[in-house]
Structure 1
Amino acid sequence: MALIKSVRGFSPKIGENCFLAENSTIVGDVEMGEGCSIWFGAVLRGDVNSIRLGNHVNIQDNACIHTLYQKSVTEIGDYVSVGHNVVIHGAKIEDYALIGMNAVVLDHAVIGKGAIVAAGSVVLGGTKVEPGCIYAGVPAKFVKKVDPDQSAEMNQKIAHNYSMYASWYMEEKED
């Protein structure tokens, strides 16, 4: 069972049909919608401020979601994919965005709907990534607009695949 811990009077609220890997950690002021998946080693640490996840968000292995005390919150929309080893710290990630493996997204950054943050990128605090754009590098910069159909197909496919992967683990528990 995942480590689910209350702190400072805040207890995590987990939506229906969520998969929480046995060694994931969800602490404090965290609320997630339905159908989310929190993978192995991932940490959602809502001890100093709030973390909000929409529906069908996947937080992949070893990702860390946190905030700044009294200064930033983390908001993640619906069908967002957060890759392995990602750090999101006090940022807003809009629907169907894709945050690539080992990327870092810092306080008050906004990642627009359907945008892609390339693997290994660092999105500096306050950066606004326009919807449907790819940002890459350290620090992350605009690379190009993505064809909306291509972005939707890739981002949606990954988000929906993670719902399928989570169902495999949930079926195992029922047996």
Structure 2
Amino acid sequence: MALIKSVRGFTPEIGEDTFLADNATVVGDVIMGKNCSIWFNAVLRGDVNSIRLGDRVNVQDGAVIHTLYQKSVSILGDDVTVGHNAIIHGATVENGALIGMGAIVLDHAVIGEGSIIAAGAVILSGTKVEPGSIYAGVPAKFVKKVDPEQSKEMNQKIASNYLMYSSWFK
């Protein structure tokens, strides 16, 4: 059973039809939308500030979402994919964006709607990624614009796939 822990008077709110892997950890001021999936060894640690997830967000194996005490919050929109071992620390990730495996998104960054952050990329604190952009590298830089329909289709497909995968475990 997943570790769901209250801290500082905050108890996580888990959305309807959400899958939590047996060893996922959700702590403190975390509110999730419906149909999310939090996978094996993922950690959402809302101990020092707020974490908010929209609907159909998938946080894959080993990913970590955290914040800065009194300085940043983590907000993820609908249909967001957070790849294996990615880190989101006090950033905003807008609807339909994809954070690639092992990517790091630092405090006060904003990842625009439908954007793709490549595997292993490091988005520096305060970076504003325009909607529909692909960023890659360390530190991450703009690569190109992505076709909005192609991005939406791909990211919604991933979100749908993760809904299917999570149904295998219920």
TM-score range, shorter chain: over 0.9
Question: Which residue does the alignment assign to 2:74?
Answer: 74
Q: Match of 2:150?
A: 150
Paired residue secondary structure (1:149): helix
Tell me, in whole angstroms, the C-alpha distance in 2 between the residues paired with 1:28 and 1:138: 31
Q: Tell me, yes or no, if structure 1 residue 108 matches structure 2 residue 108.
A: yes
Deviation at 1:166, TM superposition (A): 0.7
Q: 2:129 — aligned with what?
A: 129
1:85-96 equivalences under 5 Å are 85-96=85-96
Q: Deviations over 1:24-82 (max 9, x none)?
A: 00000000010000000000000000000000100000000000000000000001000
Count of matched residue pairs: 170
Q: Considering only aligned residues, what root-mean-square deviation do their CA atoms show, in Å?
A: 0.5
Structure 2 counterparts to residues 39-54 of structure 1, below 5 A: 39-54=39-54
Partners of 1:54 and 1:108 lie apart in 2 by 18
Q: How does 1:160-171 map to 2 (within 5 A)?
A: 160-170=160-170
3-state SS, counterpart of residue 164 of structure 1: helix
Identity %: 75
Q: Secondary structure at the match of 1:169?
A: coil
Cα distance per residue 1:121-156 (max 9 Å; x no partner): 000000000111100000010000011122112111
- Within 2, Cα distance between the matches of 1:52 and 1:152? 21
- Alignment TM-score, normalising by the size of structure 2: 0.99
Counterparts of 2:149 and 2:96 in 1: how far apart (Å)? 12
Write the distance in 2 (CA, Å) between the matches of 1:96 and 1:30.
20
Give, as a single letter, the amino acid of the residue that structure 2 aligns with 1:107: D
Give the Cα separation in 2 of the matches to 1:17 and 1:99: 23
SS of structure 1 residue aligned to 2:34: coil
> What SS does the aligned partner of 2:169 have?
helix
Q: Residue in 1 aligned with 2:83?
A: 83
2:67 alignment partner AA: T
Amino acid of the structure 2 residue aligned with 1:151 = S
Whether 1:11 aligns to 2:11 is yes
Q: Say whether residues 1:140 and 2:157 are aligned partners.
A: no
SS at structure 1 position matched to 2:52: strand
Letter in 1 for 2:83: G
Q: Which ranges of 4 or more aligned residues in structure 1 deviate by more than 6 Å?
A: none
How far apart, CA to CA, are the structure 2 residues paired with 1:143 and 1:155?
Answer: 18
Unaligned runs of 5+ in 2: none
| Shift of residue 5, structure 1, vs aligned partner | 0.3
Instruction: Say which SS state the counterpart of residue 102 (structure 2) adopts.
Output: coil
